Amino acid sequence: MDCRLIIDGHAPGTWNMAMDEALLQSAGRAGQGGCLRFYLWEQPTLSLGYFQEHEDRARHEASLACPIVRRSTGGGAIVHDRELTYSFTCHVPHRGKVDPFSLYDAFHTTLVDE
């Protein structure tokens, strides 16, 4: 599989989430290779998972003064601050026949090995 590599600098949370969502949407098209993107955060930012309630922010006192964004994926709240973040997207032709945990393990094993 061909894979694009994108290395971005510091950006606002809204930009980072918009880029991740655009890459995710383009990965859904057959014939697209994978994309690995590394990026940084312009300022501390709280990101909520797609299904999280906005009220969950109250549980994260350290982030009350931070901007807030919503990810297009699930998961819990994350305060992004002084970290290197990455996203990986790829087309999966037979969603029901692929175990997402196997993909997760294969990707992270490769990333750590390299």
CA distance 83 to 37: 14
CB atoms within 10 A of CB 81: 13
CA distance 58 to 88: 30
pLDDT in tens, 51-97: 988 887 888 788 888 999 999 888 888 999 999 999 998 887 776 77
Structure tokens at 32: 């697209």
For the entire predicted model, the pTM comes to: 0.82
3 state SS of 74:
coil
The domains located in the chain, with CATH, are 3-113 (3.30.930.10)
